[in-house]
Every structure is written in C-alpha cells, then in structure tokens.
C-alpha cells in the first residue's frame, strides 16, 4: 500500500510539473503574439517551404504536386529536343544526337527505341529512366503479341506506358519518370498514329508534337504549319519535322547530328534512317530554301 501511495504521489507531481510547463509556454507565446496554431498555419500556407516538395503523394495547399513538376524540369534540362509529325500515310520523329565523349561509340548513343516491329518511340529526358520505360514497354508489346497473336496497337501501348508513369506519381516508394515519350506507328484501321506521354502519365494523340528543351518554340512553329491540316507525303513528313527542329534550334544540322525514324503504311515497320538517307533530306531542304 505504501508503494502504491508513493507511485500515485509521483504521478501527481509529474502531472503538476507538466501543467506548469504548458502554462509557462503558452504565456511566453502570448507575450510574443504568435500562437502555435498561427505558426503552423503560416507554415502550411508557404507550400513547398513546408516540405510539400519532398513528398510525391501530398498536394500542396495550392493543389500542386511539386515532385511531378520537378520531373518535367528534369526532362527539359537534358538539353534535347524532339519533333514528331504525322503525314497522310506515314509518321516520323526527329531528335538531336549528341555524343558527349569522343571515346564513346556513336552507334551506341540513341534516343530512338523500337518497341515492336511496327511501333517505336523517341524518349527525351533522363536516359536511365528512358531505358526502364522502354524495357517495360517492350515486355508489354511482347506479352500482347503472345496472348493475341498480333502486334500491339500504338494507342494501347501508349496507354500502358502512361499508366506506368501515372502510378509513379501516386506511391511514396517511387518517383516520376523524368522523360517524355513519343510513340509512332501505323494502325491498320486508323492509319498513322503519333502519341505523346508526359511524366505525369497524361497521353493523347497528335497531328504533330514536340518535347524537350525547345518544346514551346517548336509547338508555336508547328501550329502555324499544321493549322490547315496538310496531308504530307512520306518525304514531306520527314522534311517538315527536320525543318521544325532546325528552325527552333537555329542550326543547320549535319546527318550525324540528328536521328530520324519513320513508319510508313507501305511497309508498316519502325525504321531508323541511315546517315545517307538523312543527308538526302537535308540536301532537299537546303535546295528548297
């Protein structure tokens, strides 16, 4: 009984000390005129300053996901630009090709990736992220062909790539992919198809699209050229894409400085043009101008 009464007195003493500490703390805050609730409210209103940019899955008070926005910035900071154009019977993508080190084998540096025999992709942004997205897309394309006995449609593969990207914006154990992907192919029903998938997991079909460092400038250029919905033939489609990227970057590229991939209705295969073929298009553009 004596032990019990001693424990009760000790608990009462601790409670008294705690209450006294709380009263003193509240009095000091009242003197400063800054209640604790007010300080917390100010911190919440500051948005990213309160740590909202450290968590993918938490919206800031302004309704923003900062990590997703940072993924867009990381994609553009790569310094590359890509342009895709859809023609009457073909679709193509053009991107810069930079070899950062003289010791690298230029044939091993690329931003163009076949996903199946009929569908390909250009990925602009962080190359390691691009490789991960490409491997997943190739697996999805192979699984579809094994299950259904035919090639995966471009729009459905774009949806699967977008779904994977969108899930990465919802789970705290993942981060968004810092790439924008453009998928091209020719659908047996709908003809040439061009889809773009961004780091947030949004995807949609385009007549012409662009991604990367000069995305806005390229968009403005293409909007003027495509507004009347011209039906480009195979050569015109490639040359329009090359002209767009040369114009927005203010450069006259050599054949080894750009990469061009096409899919035409005639053979319906994703194909990367050789340097000689690219040179022919560059010569035709310079003679036209």
> What does the DSSP 8-state code read for residue 273?
P
Cα distance between residue 98 and residue 106, in whole Å: 9
Provide the pLDDT for residue 229: 84
**Which two three-digit tokens encode residue 5?**
């009464």
Q: How many CB atoms lie within 10 A of CB 168?
A: 21
Cα distance between residue 241 and residue 92, in whole Å: 7
* β-sheet bridge partners, residue 182: 122, 196
Model pLDDT for residues 177-211, shown as the tens digit of each residue? 999 999 999 998 999 999 999 999 999 999 999 99
Q: What is the spatial order of strands in the sheet that 191-197 belongs to?
A: 112-114, 120-125, 179-187, 191-197, 203-205
> Are 249 and 81 contacting, i.e. CB atoms less than 8 angstroms apart?
yes
Cα distance between residue 253 and residue 284, in whole Å: 13
Model pLDDT for residues 226-269, shown as the tens digit of each residue? 988 889 999 999 999 999 999 999 999 999 999 999 999 999 99
């Amino acid at each position: 009984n004596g032990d019990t009464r001693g424990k009760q007195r000790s608990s009462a003493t601790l409670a008294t000390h705690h209450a006294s500490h709380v009263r003193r703390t509240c009095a000091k805050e009242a003197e400063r005129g800054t209640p604790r609730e007010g300080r917390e409210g100010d911190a919440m209103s500051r948005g990213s300053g309160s740590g909202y940019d450290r968590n993918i899955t938490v919206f800031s008070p302004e309704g923003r996901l900062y990590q997703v926005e940072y993924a867009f910035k990381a994609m553009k900071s790569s310094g590359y630009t890509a342009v895709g154009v859809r023609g009457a019977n073909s679709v193509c993508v053009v991107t810069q090709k930079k070899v950062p080190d003289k010791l690298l084998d230029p044939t091993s540096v690329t931003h163009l990736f076949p996903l199946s025999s009929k569908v390909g992709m250009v990925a602009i942004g962080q190359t390691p992220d691009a490789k991960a997205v490409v491997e997943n897309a190739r697996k999805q394309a192979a699984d579809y062909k094994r299950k259904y006995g035919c090639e995966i449609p471009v729009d459905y593969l774009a949806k699967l790539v977008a779904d994977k990207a969108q899930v990465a914006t919802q789970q705290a154990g993942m981060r968004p992919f810092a790439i924008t992907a453009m998928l091209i192919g020719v659908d047996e029903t709908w003809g040439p198809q061009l889809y773009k998938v961004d780091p947030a997991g949004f995807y949609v079909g385009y007549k012409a699209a662009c991604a990367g460092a000069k995305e806005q400038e390229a968009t403005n250029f293409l909007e003027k050229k495509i507004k009347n919905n011209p039906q480009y033939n195979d050569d015109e489609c490639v040359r329009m894409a090359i002209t767009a990227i040369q114009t927005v970057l203010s450069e006259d590229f050599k054949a080894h400085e750009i990469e061009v991939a096409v899919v035409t209705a005639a053979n319906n295969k994703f194909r990367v043009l050789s340097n000689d073929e690219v040179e022919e298009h560059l010569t035709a553009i310079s003679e036209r101008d």
